[in-house]
Chain A
Amino acid sequence: NAGVTQTPKFRVLKTGQSMTLLCAQDMNHEYMYWYRQDPGMGLRLIHYSVGEGTTAKGEVPDGYNVSRLKKQNFLLGLESAAPSQTSVYFCASGRGYQETQYFGPGTRLLVL
C-alpha cells in the first residue's frame, strides 16, 4: 500500500516548456487535489477532482490544467512554464470533502 505517490520528485524547466506531473493513489479515494507551496505561504489549492472524469478550479488555477481519466490518477499540466510557477507541488487524496487528506511526497519544480 504505497498511499499517494508523485512523479517526478524534482524537475528543472526552461520558461515556455511544458510538463505533466503525475499523482497516483491506491486508497480508492474519490477526492484528489493539487496544491502548490511557496515560502512563507500556506498551501494553495490549484485544482481538485471529486471523482473520475471530473475536475474543478481551486484558488490559483491559472496556467495549469488537470485531468482525471482514471480514479487513481490525477495529472497536473503546465502548458507553458513561467518562473512564477517555481514551487513545490503536492498532490493529496481523500475519501470525501472535509475528511483527512493524504499527501504525496511533493514535486520540486524550478522554472528558469
Chain B
Amino acid sequence: RKEVEQDPGPFNVPEGATVAFNCTYSNSASQSFFWYRQDCRKEPKLLMSVYSSGNEDGRFTAQLNRASQYISLLIRDSKLSDSATYLCVVMYSSASKIIFGSGTRLSIRP
C-alpha cells in the first residue's frame, strides 16, 4: 500500500460545478500537509497549506482529518483554468521524508 494515496481521476466536471477529492495517508506521524497544483509538463506550485482547523482561500477549501488520516480539497465554482493535476504532500519530522501523492487529474469542461 502506498504511503500517500490519491484517486488518479480524471475528474471531468462542468464549469461552475463543485468538486472535491481526498488524499489518504498511512503514517500517523505525519506533521504537515499541502496541496500543490501541477499543469501539464510544468512544475508543481503551492496551492495551499492544510491546517488542522481547516482553511479557505477564495474558492478553495482544504481540510485535515487526523482521525481518519486524510486531507481533502474542495473547489467551488470551478473555472476552466482549474484544469490541472492536484498533488497532495505529506511531510514528517525529518526533511528526508517528504511524500508526494501521484496526483488527481481534474478537467473542467465548458
Is B80 located at the chain interface by the 8 A CB criterion?
no
Say which size band chain A's interface belongs to. Answer: 20 to 34
Mostly, the B contact residues are strand
Question: Quick one: CB contact mask for B66-98 with A, threshold 8 Å, 1 for yes?
Answer: 000000000000000000000100010001111
Is A22 located at the chain interface by the 8 A CB criterion?
no
Query: Which of A42, A50, A100 is the one whose CB lies under 8 Å from B95?
Result: A50
CB distance from A24 to the nearest CB of B (A): 14
- Are B87 and A42 in contact, with the CB atoms below 8 A? yes
Known: A33-B98, A42-B102, A43-B100. 14 other contacts (CB 8 A): A42-B4, A42-B99, A42-B100, A42-B103, A43-B87, A45-B98, A56-B96, A59-B97, A100-B49, A101-B44, A102-B46, A103-B45, A105-B43, A106-B43
CA distance A35 to B99 in the complex (A): 11
* Closest residue on chain B to residue A104 by CB atoms: B43
User: Known contacts A42-B101, A42-B102: does B95 contact A56 (CB below 8 Å)?
Assistant: yes
Is A74 located at the chain interface by the 8 A CB criterion?
no
Is B31 located at the chain interface by the 8 A CB criterion?
yes
Residues of A within 8 A of B44 (CB): 43, 90, 101, 103
Query: Which of A58, A98, A103 is the one whose CB lies under 8 Å from B96?
Result: A58
Interface residues of A in 78-112 (CB under 8 A from B): 90, 97-98, 100-106
Is A41 located at the chain interface by the 8 A CB criterion?
yes
Interface residues of B in 31-56 (CB under 8 A from A): 31-32, 34, 42-46, 49
Is A57 located at the chain interface by the 8 A CB criterion?
yes
CB distance from A8 to the nearest CB of B (A): 15
